[in-house]
Each structure stands twice: as C-alpha cells, then as structure tokens.
Chain A
Amino acid sequence: MITGNLKTTYRADEQVLNNRWKRGFVLGALAGLVAIPLFGNNYIVLIACQMGIMLIAVTGVNVVIGYTGLMSLGHAAFVAIGAYATVIFHNAAGGVIPDSLLTLVAIPFAVAVSALAGIIVGLPSLRVKGLYLAVATLSANFIVIFLIEERVFAPWTGGMVGINTPTANLLGWELGSRRELFWLIAVLAVLALLAAQNLFRTRVGRAFIAIRDRDYSAEILGISLYRYKLMSFAISAAYCGLAGALFAYFYARILPEQFDLHLSLMLVAAIIVGGMGRTMGAVYGVIVIVMVPEVIKVVFGAFAGGGAELAMIRAPIQEIAFGALIVGFLLFEPFGINQIIDRALRALNRWPFARG
C-alpha cells in the first residue's frame, strides 16, 4: 500500500489526476499553453500551432492503433478529407450561410465526413489484422490522394496544384493571424485530449482495449467486434478530420502531397515515440516529432551556414532521425516517453519513502 493515496469515495478513486503531482503537471502545462500566444514570438506560435493540429490527429491515431490495436498506415487520408471538406464546404456554402457562422458549421461537417470515411476504410479490419490491415489502410491513403488529384474533381479540389483556403471566422471574429488561430487550435486540442481520456474511463473505451488485448475474450463478454472496430475507426477518423479542418484554416493553401504516406508515417511515429495507448503519449510524441526537424534545421544551420549541398541532405537525415527514434523506442522503451514521465511522477509521489 502506498501511503498518502487513500481515498474515501469511489468518485475520488476514479479520478484521472489522482495525486497532486499529476494535477500540478497538467495545470503547469495549461499555463504554458496560455503563455504561448501572450508572450511567444511568431516562430514559437507557428510551432505551437503545428503541434496542436498534429496533436489532434495523433490522438485519433492513438485511438485506433494504441487503444484498439488495429494497425493503420492511412490516417493522413482522413486529415486530407477533413481539410478538403472544409475548403469545399466554404466554397459551396459561402453565399448561403453567413460568414460569421460558416466555420462553426464547416468544422462539424468535415468531422462527420471524415468519420464516415473512417467507417469505410475500417471495413477491412473486420477480416484482417496486423500487417494486412496496415496494407489495406495504406492503399486507402493512396486512393484518397489519387481522387483529390483527379481531373474530374479538380473544380472542387483544385487537383494537383492545390487550392486556396478560407480564413476561420467565429461569430464575426476573423482569425486572420496565426496568433489568433492558436486560441482555436489550443482549445480544440485540449478538448480533444480530454474527450479521449474520458472515452477510456467508460465502457466504450474499455471495449476498445479489450479488443486490442484479446479479441475472443472481448466477444465472450458481449462486445460486438464489428460494431466496436468500426466505431474505433470512425472516432479516430473524426479526430483526424478535425485536425484536417484546422490544417486548412492554418495554411493559406493546401496541396494533395501534404497528406501523403509521409504524414501517415509521422502520425504513427509520434504515437510510438510518445507512448501507445496512453492519452498523454500523443502529447509527448507530437512535441518530439515536430521538434526533430526544427532541431536538425538549427544544427545544420550552425554547421553549414546555409550551404546548398548540405541543405540537400537535410531531408534524408530527417527521415533517418525518425527511423532511429522509432527503432530506439521500440527497443528500449516500448511504452514511449509517457512511461518515462509516469515513472518520474510516481517517484515524486512516493518520495522520500521509495523510488521508481
């Protein structure tokens, strides 16, 4: 028995942040989040926005890969669908719905379309698992990009050359600058994270984990594999759709190639590094995945001073760094950074009586 953790009600015992160190950690993180747009420079705001968008998508990937145990290498497709659905909705409904409400309708629309696409892409998961499912979802990614680039759809999607994106407008508040958009991204990212955590405190999330850990045992408890696997895909696709919508508002122009296999792999890499099947895993993973290219950029800048030949090998070095990170974590810390931080928080809570 660990002292100092005694609870007298089930409500207190079922709390997620069940000791003061965890509460302090999360409150500190939230304070840091508010400080970014108030005190950060443009570069910090840019990076933070990118992280926020990625975080929502990675949380979605975590639902399906980390919690339900269904491998997917195609989640960039849902980000693409979310982004393009937002742009197309703006262009189509621009005159019909007043500008001040357009964003508030477009985002749920994009999320719904992505969720629907998630159910369709999730269908193979009813038959195949593991590597086979990875290939099936991978092909979904290629199909979606192919359709976006297709000439027939070009009037709506802009085809290969991409399409300009609208500015977000919340009840008349135009989020024209990145600093303003950060508020929207941050609020949605925190809510997304909270919702994911909540999901796994209830029967729905538990059913996902049950399917991951032992599918026949889940079935024997009355969990319909069909229903819950598709639900998992739908939820994770909805998350990616939300990320896609924000992606569209954030960049001035979107291109199909931004949503190719590279993005899918980044999403998977982030959750492996951060910690699969752990809510905060997505947070840590995203921080690392977004920072790695930036760090490489800075280090290269210091050595090469902008030399053209060295700049050429920066991209492959980035890929190698991602690869090394994934392999390293799978070998030495399969539960990711989350595990390291959990261990530290636990040690703090027990200090000075025990360590680890």
Chain B
Amino acid sequence: MLSVQDLSLSFGGIKALQGVSFSAQPGQITAIIGPNGAGKTSLFNAISGFYHPERGRVVFDGQDITALRPDRRAALGIARTFQNIALFRGMSVLDNIKLGAHTRLNTGVFGALRYFGSAQREELALRADIEARVIEFLEIDHIRKAPITALPYGLQKRVELGRALAMQPRLLMLDEPVAGMNREETEDMARFILDVQEEFGTTILLVEHDMHLVMDICAHVVVLNFGQQIASGPPDEVRADRGVIEAYLGAAA
C-alpha cells in the first residue's frame, strides 16, 4: 500500500530522518513510535508532501509520489490529521467535513456562482453522504452546526478525523490521535479508529505516545530514535526489543 524506502531528510546539521524504510500493509494499522524529536512528524510530513527528502522514495499503491505536491497526494487518497488540530476555525463542523470531500466533487467556478442546478444537486448529495458516512458514524450529529471554536478538544480531534474520513481515503495518517485526552476520550477514539479499519478497510498509519493504545490496536510497529529506525515488527516483538526498551519504553514497560 504505502512503502517508504531509504528516506533521509536533514535540516542544516540536524539529521531528522536517516534511511527510514518500512511499509504499511493494506487494511492494517501501523504505528510509528519513538521519543520526542525522533522524527515521527517529519516522517509524516515527508509522506504527505510538505518536506522533500534528500534521498529515498515514497511509493503509494505502486506509484512513486516523492515529487508530488501535497494536494496531488491527497487526490490519490492519502488523508491525515495533525498533532495540534488543524481545523478551519472560521467554519462550522459541517463545512469542515464537507471540505474533506473537495477532491471528490466537480463543481467549477461558473456552476458555483449559479448554484441552482448541478451544483445544488452535488451539494445535497454530498450532505446526505456525509451525514451517513461521517456524522452518524462518529456520533457528532449534535454538533454539526456548531462553530469549531465552541468545541472541546476531544470533539475537535474527532471532527478532524471526520474531515479526513470525508475524503474516503485509502491511507489515513493520524498524528497523535489521542494526545491530551483522558481515558474515556482515548477509548472512544480507539473504537472509532478500529471502526474505520473494519467498516471501510482503510489502511491506517499512526504516530502515538500512548503505548496501551499502540500495543492494543496496531498490527505493526515502527520505532524511530534520532531519525533512525531502530526496530520494526509486531507489537510483542517490538515490546521485547532491548534497543527499544533502552531508547524509549523504559525497563518497567
């Protein structure tokens, strides 16, 4: 599905990524873990197209996408959320989610200015689709008209997931989906992630510090430390790895 091959990236003297290689299997959840500054978010940014690696390739569905702009990668079916929520704050929940469907819609400028006719049909179909596939699915029907700024943190995270889902992505990248959440919110989010995998068969790649979550729901774990990949494998194997315990998990884990 997604394969990252020998990816290297540096900012001046800082080597953010050094020869990282792994692949995310179709329909499975893959986690990227590691201490702060290990290069997890840099890796995400390289996959979604914000950073341009000096060496290596990003291959999605057999296609080399290393040189594509972020918006072109999105059109191929790669969606992501951000660590520090990147919703559109001037809009309602509904409009945010509708934006997720941008690449699936066809209305052009002139159709948009006229609205009545094809644009209206498309908008109403979109609304019905979003209500069923996203709003009901994520249980956010009570806040669909609310402005983003009025929502608590946990719900904002869920809306951002909803926006990504509206893209009907084939690869969903989640950057710390449960960071800063209490146990109940974390459990909710874990359930939604598993539901997405089950219902839509989406391939999921996530960065997370919550080890319980990672070990519980992921099929494959990649560990980074100072830009280097120090382990990769199923959760049980990674948990027992001496290098990983030293660098990140600690002896008690």
Q: How far is the CA of A220 from the CA of B69 in the complex (A)?
A: 9
Residues of chain B within 8 A of A223, CB atoms compared = 71, 99, 102
Please state if B89 and A213 are interface contacts (CB–CB under 8 Å). Answer: yes
Say yes or no for A277: interface residue by CB 8 A criterion.
Answer: yes
> Looking at chain B's contact residues, is the secondary structure mostly helix, strand, loop, or mixed?
helix
Residues of chain B within 8 A of A231, CB atoms compared = 109
Q: How far is the CA of A340 from the CA of B182 in the complex (A)?
A: 38
Q: Which of these, B69, B101, B115, contacts A219 with CB under 8 Å?
A: B69
Residues of chain A within 8 A of B50, CB atoms compared = 216
Please state if A201 and B86 are interface contacts (CB–CB under 8 Å). Answer: no
Residues of chain B within 8 A of A235, CB atoms compared = 109
Please state if B103 and A202 are interface contacts (CB–CB under 8 Å). Answer: no
Please state if B115 and A225 are interface contacts (CB–CB under 8 Å). Answer: no
Q: How far is the CA of A216 from the CA of B85 in the complex (A)?
A: 12
| Residue tally, chain A, CB below 8 Å to B | 32
Q: How far is the CA of A350 from the CA of B16 in the complex (A)?
A: 55
Q: How far is the CA of A288 from the CA of B98 in the complex (A)?
A: 35
Q: Which residue of B lies closest to A227 (CB)?
A: B71
Residues 197-215 of chain A: 1 if any B CB is under 8 Å from the residue's CB, otherwise 0?
Answer: 0110111111101101110
Contacting A at CB under 8 A, from B107-131, are 107-109, 111-116, 119, 122-124, 127-128, 131
Q: Which of these, B69, B89, B127, contacts A14 with CB under 8 Å?
A: B127
Please state if A277 and B90 are interface contacts (CB–CB under 8 Å). Answer: yes
Residues 248-291 of chain A: 1 if any B CB is under 8 Å from the residue's CB, otherwise 0?
Answer: 00000000000000000000000000000100000000000000
Q: Give the interface size bracket for B toward A.
A: 35 or more
Q: Which of these, B75, B86, B101, contacts A216 with CB under 8 Å?
A: B86
Please state if A10 and B128 are interface contacts (CB–CB under 8 Å). Answer: yes
Q: Which of these, A11, A198, A202, A221, contacts B100 with CB under 8 Å?
A: A221
Residues of chain A within 8 A of B91, CB atoms compared = 206, 209, 213
Please state if B109 and A204 are interface contacts (CB–CB under 8 Å). Answer: yes
Most chain A CB neighbours (cut-off 10 Å) among B69, B89, B102, B128 = B102
Please state if B88 and A204 are interface contacts (CB–CB under 8 Å). Answer: no
Please state if A14 and B112 are interface contacts (CB–CB under 8 Å). Answer: no
Say yes or no for A195: interface residue by CB 8 A criterion.
Answer: yes
Say yes or no for B57: interface residue by CB 8 A criterion.
Answer: no
Please state if A217 and B112 are interface contacts (CB–CB under 8 Å). Answer: no
Contacts between the two chains (Cβ within 8 Å), count: 110
Say yes or no for A222: interface residue by CB 8 A criterion.
Answer: yes
Please state if A202 and B107 are interface contacts (CB–CB under 8 Å). Answer: yes
Q: Which of these, A14, A203, A210, A220, contacts B48 with CB under 8 Å?
A: A220
Most chain B CB neighbours (cut-off 10 Å) among A198, A202, A207, A225 = A202
Please state if A203 and B107 are interface contacts (CB–CB under 8 Å). Answer: yes
Q: How far is the CB of B160 from chain A (nearest CB, A)?
A: 9
Please state if B119 and A222 are interface contacts (CB–CB under 8 Å). Answer: no
Say yes or no for B248: interface residue by CB 8 A criterion.
Answer: no
Please state if B163 and A199 are interface contacts (CB–CB under 8 Å). Answer: no
Please state if A217 and B115 are interface contacts (CB–CB under 8 Å). Answer: no
Say yes or no for B70: interface residue by CB 8 A criterion.
Answer: yes
Say yes or no for B74: interface residue by CB 8 A criterion.
Answer: yes
Please state if B70 and A219 are interface contacts (CB–CB under 8 Å). Answer: yes
Residues of chain B within 8 A of A195, CB atoms compared = 113-114
Please state if B103 and A221 are interface contacts (CB–CB under 8 Å). Answer: yes
Please state if B113 and A203 are interface contacts (CB–CB under 8 Å). Answer: no
Q: Which residue of A lies closest to B167 (CB)?
A: A221
Q: How far is the CA of A128 from the CA of B99 in the complex (A)?
A: 24
Please state if B124 and A205 are interface contacts (CB–CB under 8 Å). Answer: no
Say yes or no for A224: interface residue by CB 8 A criterion.
Answer: yes
Residues of chain A within 8 A of B88, CB atoms compared = 209-210, 213-214, 217-218
Please state if A204 and B112 are interface contacts (CB–CB under 8 Å). Answer: yes
Residues 231-250 of chain A: 1 if any B CB is under 8 Å from the residue's CB, otherwise 0?
Answer: 10001000000000000000
Q: Which of these, A10, A205, A209, A213, contacts B112 with CB under 8 Å?
A: A205
Please state if B105 and A203 are interface contacts (CB–CB under 8 Å). Answer: yes
Q: How far is the CA of A227 from the CA of B91 in the complex (A)?
A: 22
A-B contact pairs, 27 of them (CB 8 A): A14-B123, A14-B124, A195-B114, A198-B115, A199-B112, A199-B113, A201-B115, A201-B119, A201-B123, A202-B119, A203-B101, A203-B102, A203-B105, A204-B107, A206-B91, A206-B98, A207-B102, A209-B91, A213-B90, A218-B88, A218-B99, A220-B48, A220-B79, A222-B71, A222-B72, A222-B75, A223-B102
Query: Could you list 15 further interchain pairs (A-B, Cβ under 8 angstroms) beyond the known A198-B112, A201-B115, A220-B48?
Result: A10-B128, A11-B124, A201-B112, A202-B115, A202-B122, A203-B98, A203-B102, A204-B112, A206-B91, A213-B89, A219-B70, A219-B74, A220-B74, A220-B79, A223-B102
